Structure 1
Amino acid sequence: MNKQRNLKIVNIIFLLILTVLAIIAFVSKDINSIIFGLIVGFFLQFELFLTSNEDNLKMNRQLFIATWGLTLALLSNLFRAI
């Protein structure tokens, strides 16, 4: 149970980092921050996919949807910045 709690905390920290990167990328249109945000987003999605089980499925689903939303926003910013 403690492992799942720590995993949720790590996932939320990654999601907060991704959110900050998405906001910075939207404001500055800096390609490097957009690419770094995409790397963090895809890493978080991969990590959520690997750690999903029956117990934390609802939490992972919410984080997964939020992560995809931010990743798609970063992709649109990338195409707009190019």
Structure 2
Amino acid sequence: MMDEKQARYDHLMAMIRPAERLCEAVHEIIPQSLDVEITPFSDGSVAVVLEIEGIDYQVTMMPLPSQRERKVIN
């Protein structure tokens, strides 16, 4: 049981960095009067709360089970 909890925790922690990068990118483009919030969910996704033109929005992030193809650059 502990291994399952640890695996979920590790997955959530792996989702935090992409969420932080999203926050950093948005902050460069759109000034935020409040701090951006990142909330982890038990299903392995995270929510990012950010402000656009004075309105708070929640963006949910989760990895897609099937990734899109990317061009190989040599």
Higher relative contact order (Cα pairs below 8 Å, separated by 6+ residues): 1
Larger Rg: 2
Same-fold call, TM > 0.5?
Answer: no
Q: Normalised by the size of structure 1, how large is the TM-score?
A: 0.41
Q: Which has the higher helix share?
A: 1
Q: TM-score, normalised by structure 2?
A: 0.44
Report the structure, 1 or 2, having the larger strand content. Answer: 2
